[in-house]
Amino acid sequence: MGSVNTLSILYEEERKKKIIEYLQLNLRVSVRELSSNFSVSESTIRRDLQELEDENKLKRTHGGAVYLEDVNLELTFGEKEDKFRQEKVAIAKKAAELIEDGDTILIDSGTTTLYMVNELRKFSNLTVVTNSIILAQVLQGQENIQVVVVGGMLRKNTLAMVGPMAEQALGMLNVNKAFIGTNGLSLENGLTTPNIIEAATKTKMISIAKQVVVLTDWSKFGKVSFAKFAELSQIDTCIVDDKASPESIEQIRKAGIEVEVVYL
């Protein structure tokens, strides 16, 4: 780790910054290695890693951590569900404000989009197209909503139906609004996700919608994952929480996208 070895003590924030810089270069690191390099106890390093994981900057593993922006790293649906719950609920409520009775909408599979389900009870007439088996299961008891489930190959990590069959089914449809989740959003790389097959399905979803709304918490801003599924120019609206930096929000707005900020 270069000059880090010559430092006996680092303040906590500086130490955590150095940990992320090291992970950016090496993608994986052990607690023992960090403890030795920073001359602090392993319990201190474990606390640092826990805090960085809470900030969605890395994922802890047995005995160490991996960099969360490893483009092939993908958390499971269950692992993501409780992360940033407050932000996701607020984003989902704001998204529902864009819906009108009589709309035909598409809701992408994801943990943020799943929180939209409870917000749909207030509508008397909706058609919802989704590739999420969980979302479809939750919606099946709501008589005011006609549910269209996209078939295809089930991805166990995201519990989404994807692939050529899903794309063929989507190609037969048109929707007023599509609510899409993402693993990364950046000016240079657009919208990205870890899996190339799921990326192709998301691309098809966007192509059948008159209005495209991206739901993303602050942690996705500036992140880049493996497979691009859309340019920023293909988005109409981005809904994000107020933990996103004002500078990044302004950059997205300058790209011609309407940004709705929810305040927690």
CATH number of the domain encompassing residue 41: 1.10.10.10
Residues 110 and 240 in one domain: yes
Per-residue model confidence (pLDDT) at position 9: 47
Poorest-confidence range of 61-70, 125-134, 200-209? 61-70
Residues 108 and 238 in one domain: yes
Residues 93 and 8 in one domain: no
72: in domain:
no
Per-residue model confidence (pLDDT) at position 4: 43
Per-residue model confidence (pLDDT) at position 106: 98
Query: Would the pLDDT of 79 be above 80?
Result: no
| Token pair 């106890």: residue | 41
Residues 61 and 129 in one domain: no
209: in domain:
yes
State mean pLDDT over 63-68.
Answer: 77
Q: Please, what is the average pLDDT of the chain?
A: 87
State mean pLDDT over 79-93.
Answer: 78
Last residue of a domain, one of 67, 92, 115: 67
Residue 213's pLDDT band, with cuts at 50, 70 and 90, is very high
The gap from C-alpha 142 to its chain's centroid, in whole angstroms, comes to: 27
Looking at the chain, the whole-number percentage of residues with pLDDT higher than 90 is 57
Query: Would the pLDDT of 25 be above 60?
Result: yes
For residue 239, what are the CA distances in angstroms to 95, 185, 190, 203, 258?
7, 12, 15, 19, 9
Give the C-alpha separation, 206 to 119, whole Å. 22
Last residue of a domain, one of 67, 90, 114: 67
39: in domain:
yes
Residues 47 and 26 in one domain: yes
Tell me the two tokens of residue 64: 């160490």
For residue range 99-141, list pLDDT tens digits in order: 999 999 999 998 889 999 889 989 999 999 999 999 999 998 8
Q: What pairing do the DSSP bridges indicate for beta strands 153-155 and 160-162?
A: antiparallel
User: Residue 245 sits in which domain range?
Assistant: 78-262
198: in domain:
yes
Residues 82 and 61 in one domain: no
Number of domains into which the chain is organized: 2
Last residue of a domain, one of 67, 88, 107: 67
Phi, psi for 90 (deg, rounded to 5): -65, -40
- Domain of residue 94, CATH code: 3.40.50.1360
73: in domain:
no
Residue 47's pLDDT band, with cuts at 50, 70 and 90, is very high
Angle (deg, nearest 10), helices 31-38 and 42-54: 110
Poorest-confidence range of 29-33, 57-61, 114-118, 121-125? 57-61
Per-residue model confidence (pLDDT) at position 12: 84
Residues 251 and 141 in one domain: yes
Residues 47 and 105 in one domain: no
Residue 2's pLDDT band, with cuts at 50, 70 and 90, is very low
30: in domain:
yes
pLDDT top residue among 176 and 67:
176
Residues 99 and 170 in one domain: yes
Per-residue model confidence (pLDDT) at position 187: 86
pTM beyond cutoff 0.75: no
110: in domain:
yes
Residues 92 and 49 in one domain: no
58: in domain:
yes
Residue 85's pLDDT band, with cuts at 50, 70 and 90, is confident
Nearest Cα to Cα of residue 195 among 93, 94, 97, 77: 77
Residues 57 and 110 in one domain: no
Residue 149 contacts residue 137 (beta carbons within 8 Å): no
Contacts of 36 (CB under 8 A, 6+ apart): none
Nearest Cα to Cα of residue 218 among 240, 191, 194: 240
Give the C-alpha separation, 106 to 86, whole Å. 23
Per-residue model confidence (pLDDT) at position 69: 55
Residues 137 and 249 in one domain: yes
State mean pLDDT over 25-41.
Answer: 85
Query: Would the pLDDT of 89 be above 90?
Result: yes
